[in-house]
Amino acid sequence: MPDAKSRQPRFHGRVPGARACSAPGCVAAGEFRAPVRGGTRPTADSPGDYQWLCLDHVRAFNASYNFFEGMSAEEITAQQTPYAGWERETRAFAAASGATPRWADFIDPLDAIQARYGAGRQAPRNDGKPLSDADRRALKVLGLEADADRRALRQRYSELVRRYHPDRNGGDRSQERALQAVIEAYGQLKKAPAFA
């Protein structure tokens, strides 16, 4: 185990390597990346211009660095607004397209996440009444659409009970599991707000 003297202090952003410090006349190792003053800023396609500095020179650089240097008052205001990037209109995708859009199609990563994982959301009922996940599973068991009414629910329930009940099938008990699922689904939907 190394002793306390041989251990190097850890600093955020240190990238050990065999690079020399970019500061004129410095022979120390350049282990910290810093942007070049007057160089290109980072973009989505490029990391921008940067240089490698030793610890002492990166501390001096950070103490004098001004992100807003060279910007006009309007550009500074645009950078400081909490809504930066949100003023753009969200791109719409056709609901029928089965393909998920590429991540690169979005400016805001949250829009990309919504497009990818929000696609599985179920459509609401036409009457606006809420359906829980359990209600939707019960509708699937009964083979009903989300917009079914109480009358359609009762008709489908009685039809499926007649189909699966052993008394109607000459005592055949092979359909009991399906019958139990139908009864549970009907019980779930009967108390659901959408069918009240």
In a domain, 60, yes or no: yes
Identify the domain boundary among 19, 48, 65.
65
For 150-195, the pLDDT digits (tens) are 899 899 999 988 888 888 777 777 888 888 999 999 998 888 888 8
User: Residue 171 is part of which domain span?
Assistant: 133-195
Residue 4 belongs to some domain of the structure? no
DSSP of 124-173, one letter per residue? Answer: PPTT-----HHHHHHHHHHT--TT--HHHHHHHHHHHHHHH-GGGGTT--
Q: Is residue 181 part of a domain?
A: yes
Instruction: Tell me, yes or no, whether 169 lies in a domain.
Output: yes
Number of structural domains found in the chain? 2
Domain assignment present for residue 79? The answer is no
Per DSSP, the three-state class of 178 is: helix
Instruction: Tell me if 106 is assigned to some domain.
Output: no
Strand-pair partners of 34: 51
Model confidence, pTM: 0.40
pLDDT tens-digit profile of 38-58? 777 777 677 788 899 998 999
Residue 181 has which token pair?
Answer: 């699922």
